[in-house]
Structure 1
Amino acid sequence: MPPHTRVNMADVARRAGVSMATASRALSNHPHVAAETRARVLAAAEQLSYVISPEASRLAGGATDRVAVVVPHIARWFFATLLEGLESVLREADLDVLLYHVGDEADRRDFFQRLPARRKVDAVVVLGMPVRDGERARLELMGVHIVAAGGQVENYPYVSIDDAAAGRQAVDHLIFLGHRRIGMIAAVDPAEPGWPANPGRTRAYEQALADAGLPADPALAVTVPWGGLPGADAMSRLLGLREPPTAVYAHSDEVAFGAIRTLRRAGLRIPGDMSIVGIDDHPMAELAELTTVAQPVRDQGVLAGRVVLALLAGEPTAGGVTVPTRLVIRGSTAPPRR
């Protein structure tokens, strides 16, 4: 370092090979820093003759003991359960959670526009929502750790299920039962205009049919907005075909609930006349006797919280954590009627 050059936190972080936030925590003796990382930062500070100022450390991105959580929906059970698991881990570590609800396009645009000024957090966790290119750039301007939970977001550590694998469990179950004409109700999130239905779950349907040697009839695949009522409308469309399916695969349990209502109003028996399977294992799925593919939603939040703690401590983390799903067979699926 040339003489008379002022050494700052960024210089120490660069020399130690860590982020500025981690360097600040190490120098302020924060408990969530690995011993090896702390020693490396202290050695770098000594080499550079850096003297820490508590106020400067805070302004330069030091520890705030706060984590921002960005969520598109609060009332939906999936997001609430995910948040519950995440918050339980962060609370136990004495970290505060700042919740940012981006419920519509205007909220979302305003949040990401103002985001770089909100540097009073140590990390940002994005729950169950895709991050667009422009939004990704705004997140990275903060210079803090970013984690995704309940969905895969490239370039960031994430905790998620394998949607394609979950879809295969659902569709393969119907094929195993003997169904050969299988419909799909795909769902898009109204909060994500222009974003396609879950590509992994759609790909699973297409690949499962191809692997079983079954023809792909475009009329059997219906895409609607997420929710029970759109699911009911989608089932009406499928029943209106000259040759309706004998089984239906729904992208989510909520959509499947709506489809079940239409079937019952049409006087059709489940599963005698029509089988239906969903994904998620919604809290009401057992009462509805819905066969589904269960995903551990709360566990994903817990694991995401642990990833945040590891990053704040300067510990190595996996790029992504994929949690397993399992088929739960209930009373909504059976072999097709002969």
Structure 2
Amino acid sequence: MPRKAESPGKVTIVEIARLAGVGVGTASRALGHGKDVAPATRERVLRVAAELNYVVSPEASRLAKGTRGRVAVVVPHLSRWFFGEVVEGLVRVLHAADLDVLLYHVADPDERRDFFTRLPARRKVDAVVVVGFQVDPDEQDQLATMGVHIVAAGGQSAAYPSVHIDDHTAARQAVDHLLFLGHRRIGMLEAHDPAQPELPATRSPAYAEALRERGLSVDPSLVLASSWSGENGAALMARLLSIPEPPTAVFAHSDEVALGAVRTLRRSGLRPGVDVSVIGIDDHPLAELTDLTTVRQHPSAQGAVAGDMVVTLLGGGSLTDDSVIAPTELVVRSSTGPPPPASSRNA
């Protein structure tokens, strides 16, 4: 016959312990699958809990372990494909580990400072995952005083656990591809993020290095920079086409910028991959649709790796590698090809 609690209403763990004939601490450990509980005792406690339809409160269980079970995810952009992919992979892993996610949007340096200033007062999270940017030393100190773990996803190498691509390698894959095709006059469209003005253009040094190795010098007129968007990529490509000797190929820091460049070429009556080659980095979903050659990365997988790092750290484990380099690969499509004959360019 099912057991009954002494009083109606919500069943408490005190009631479970009384009916099972154990102490409250033992009942708590049994329900939480803790150690140092005899199998027969655990079975008795679980049977009583099942008969009374008692469910352990996740919040109470987390507090008993000294954790909140929450992770703050901080992103500078919400609408961009890359950041959405990273967050999707990250959240999938965290939710599978029964961790709640609090999403914070920091659109500019002021909002970022405000977030890190106010976070210690909130004390709501056990870990912070930053997506696509670095945490400066002062911000790291603030988190350290809270005992909060920090993990970076999709940014650059950092002094804390991180997963990211090697930007230098990715850029070399792009520029070396153009050089292999025979291009010698190669332009570069640099992309800077206004939300993170302190970050350098990490893909630019690889461009200069690749040219130097082929005995070529960097022509400043072929290197243009703007903020990260397709519209800006289109405007920069128009500027390159207006100089006396335009490039035969263009390396863009991202697919979004490269797609803008492709639009300008087509509107100018030029054929991408025939008259002017264009390559980007990312493998944005639109890259395949528009047949854009690119260097592929996997942002969702980077998010998942960051999630695994958080789960390991919150579980008291140690990371076998606290700086994971995610792979990149060249994907050749029709937007790149050999340089056109000189006669066709001068026609």
Larger Rg: 2
Q: Which of 96, 102, 105 is equivalent to 1:101?
A: 105
| Aligned partner of residue 129 in structure 2, secondary structure | strand
Contact 1:32 1:313 in 2 (8 A): no
Contact 1:68 1:98 in 2 (8 A): yes
Partners of 1:194 and 1:78 in 2: CA distance: 20
Give structure 1 regions of 4+ aligned residues with deviation exceeding 4 angstroms: 27-33
CA shift at 1:135, angstroms?
2.5
Counterpart of 2:325 in structure 1 is 322
Partners of 1:206 and 1:29 in 2: CA distance: 63
Contact 2:134 2:158 in 1 (8 A): no
Partners of 1:271 and 1:135 in 2: CA distance: 45
Which amino acid letter does the alignment assign opposite residue 327 of structure 2? Answer: P
Partners of 2:102 and 2:175 in 1: CA distance: 39
The TM-score normalised by the length of structure 2 is: 0.78
Partners of 1:150 and 1:178 in 2: CA distance: 32
CA shift at 1:243, angstroms?
1.0
Partners of 1:105 and 1:31 in 2: CA distance: 42
Counterpart of 1:160 in structure 2 is 164
Contact 1:115 1:142 in 2 (8 A): no
Which amino acid letter does the alignment assign opposite residue 168 of structure 2? Answer: A
Cα distance change of structure 1 residues 126 and 153 upon mapping to structure 2, 3 Å threshold: farther
Which amino acid letter does the alignment assign opposite residue 274 of structure 1? Answer: V
Written as runs of structure 1 = structure 2, the 5 A alignment for 1:190-269 is 190-197=194-201, 199=202, 201-269=203-271
Cα distance change of structure 1 residues 293 and 32 upon mapping to structure 2, 3 Å threshold: farther
Written as runs of structure 1 = structure 2, the 5 A alignment for 1:1-150 is 58=63, 62-150=66-154
Partners of 2:300 and 2:227 in 1: CA distance: 25
Contact 1:159 1:320 in 2 (8 A): yes
Higher RCO by CA contacts (8 Å cutoff, separation 6 or greater): 1
Aligned-residue sequence identity (percent) comes to: 58
Counterpart of 2:10 in structure 1 is none
CA shift at 1:216, angstroms?
1.2
Q: Deviations over 1:264-284 (max 9, x none)?
A: 111111111100000000011
Q: Deviations over 1:231-273 (max 9, x none)?
A: 1111111111111110000000000111111111111111111
Which amino acid letter does the alignment assign opposite residue 319 of structure 1? Answer: D
Contact 1:32 1:312 in 2 (8 A): no
Equivalences, count: 289
Counterpart of 1:294 in structure 2 is 296
Please, which runs of 5 or more residues in structure 1 have no aligned partner? 1-26, 36-53
CA RMSD of aligned residues (A): 2.4
Cα distance change of structure 1 residues 315 and 194 upon mapping to structure 2, 3 Å threshold: closer
| Aligned partner of residue 223 in structure 1, secondary structure | strand
Which amino acid letter does the alignment assign opposite residue 182 of structure 1? Answer: I
CA shift at 1:32, angstroms?
12
Which amino acid letter does the alignment assign opposite residue 117 of structure 1? Answer: A
Task: Tell whether 2:155 aligns with 1:151.
Answer: yes
Contact 2:157 2:323 in 1 (8 A): no
| Aligned partner of residue 308 in structure 1, secondary structure | helix
| Aligned partner of residue 284 in structure 1, secondary structure | helix
Counterpart of 1:170 in structure 2 is 174
| Aligned partner of residue 107 in structure 1, secondary structure | helix
Cα distance change of structure 1 residues 143 and 29 upon mapping to structure 2, 3 Å threshold: farther
Counterpart of 2:192 in structure 1 is 188
Task: Tell whether 2:328 aligns with 1:332.
Answer: no
Q: Which of 285, 295, 312 is equivalent to 1:283?
A: 285
Partners of 1:321 and 1:196 in 2: CA distance: 21
Cα distance change of structure 1 residues 168 and 32 upon mapping to structure 2, 3 Å threshold: farther
Which amino acid letter does the alignment assign opposite residue 138 of structure 1? Answer: Q
The TM-score normalised by the length of structure 1 is: 0.80
Partners of 1:73 and 1:164 in 2: CA distance: 23
Contact 2:294 2:331 in 1 (8 A): yes
Cα distance change of structure 1 residues 30 and 244 upon mapping to structure 2, 3 Å threshold: farther
Counterpart of 1:273 in structure 2 is 275
| Aligned partner of residue 287 in structure 2, secondary structure | coil
Partners of 1:141 and 1:166 in 2: CA distance: 36
Cα distance change of structure 1 residues 28 and 147 upon mapping to structure 2, 3 Å threshold: farther
Cα distance change of structure 1 residues 151 and 259 upon mapping to structure 2, 3 Å threshold: same
CA shift at 1:310, angstroms?
1.0
